[in-house]
């Protein structure tokens, strides 16, 4: 189902803002990107690890020494997004497009804000460069040592620049 609402404002300029919703069964690309029908959708305000990104998690501790091992945190992020969605329909509220022409959206399954869920459970970080909306959720995940915050990692934006 696709709904379009046109809202117009006139000040010194004529501006049209188009808000729309897309609903359907998503194909999960990674921890912050899905497809619904032909729409490539980026979960707005969050940044998940890349599919080839490795992070570290503790696997053994002796007194003050922590031993960590590498794991593909981007693959875990994708898996967790797929698990929370299951075989359910998702509704995405489109908020704009990014420079790669992906739709930026807040996506909801039942009553769960998927963007927030990914950050609050530590499978993505708040993308502060573009939004401060999920910073408190990131702080919660960090304090509780959830997901990525159990171990050590490079923030996805920095990892992309280095790789």
Is residue 158 pLDDT above 60, yes or no? yes
What distance in Å separates the CA atoms of residue 73 and residue 152, rounded to the nearest whole number?
A: 10
What distance in Å separates the CA atoms of residue 28 and residue 78, rounded to the nearest whole number?
A: 7
Query: Structural domain boundaries of the chain?
Result: 2-162
- Percentage of the chain surpassing pLDDT 90? 82
What distance in Å separates the CA atoms of residue 94 and residue 19, rounded to the nearest whole number?
A: 6
Range 152-162 average pLDDT: 97
CB burial of 60-70 (b: ≥16 within 10 Å; e: otherwise) equals: eeeeeeeeeee
Mean pLDDT of the chain: 89
Reported as a single tens digit per residue, the pLDDT across 95-131 is: 999 999 999 999 999 999 999 999 999 999 999 999 9
What distance in Å separates the CA atoms of residue 37 and residue 153, rounded to the nearest whole number?
A: 33
For domain 2-162, the CATH architecture is Beta Barrel (2.40)
What distance in Å separates the CA atoms of residue 17 and residue 141, rounded to the nearest whole number?
A: 34
Is residue 15 pLDDT above 90, yes or no? no
Range 133-154 average pLDDT: 97
Is residue 138 pLDDT above 90, yes or no? yes
Is residue 13 pLDDT above 90, yes or no? no
Range 22-30 average pLDDT: 97
What distance in Å separates the CA atoms of residue 75 and residue 98, rounded to the nearest whole number?
A: 23
Is residue 4 pLDDT above 60, yes or no? no
Q: Which DSSP string corresponds to the chain?
A: -EEEEEEEEESSSEEEEEEEEEEEPPEEEETTEEEETTEEEEETTEEPPPTT-EEEEEEEEETTEEEEEEEEHHHHHHHHHHHHHTT--EEEEEEEE-TTSPEEEEEEETTEEHHHHHHHTTSSEE-TTT--TTHHHHHHHHHHT-GGGGSB---HHHHHHH-
Range 49-63 average pLDDT: 90
Q: How far is CA 159 from the centre of its chain?
A: 16
């Amino acid at each position: 189902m696709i709904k379009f609402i046109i809202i117009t404002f006139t000040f010194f300029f004529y501006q049209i803002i188009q808000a729309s919703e897309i609903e359907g069964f998503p194909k999960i690309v990674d921890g912050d990107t899905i497809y619904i029908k032909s729409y490539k959708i980026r979960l707005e305000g969050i940044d998940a690890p890349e599919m080839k990104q490795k992070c570290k998690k503790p696997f053994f501790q002796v007194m003050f020494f922590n031993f960590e091992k590498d794991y593909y945190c981007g693959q875990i992020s994708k898996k967790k997004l797929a698990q929370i969605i299951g075989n359910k329909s998702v509704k995405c509220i489109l908020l704009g497009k990014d420079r790669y022409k992906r739709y930026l959206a807040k996506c909801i399954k039942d009553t769960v804000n998927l963007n927030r869920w990914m950050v609050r459970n530590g499978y993505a970080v708040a993308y502060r460069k573009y939004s401060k909306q999920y910073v408190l959720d990131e702080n919660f995940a960090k304090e509780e040592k959830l997901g990525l915050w159990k171990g050590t990692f490079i923030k996805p934006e920095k990892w992309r620049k280095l790789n």
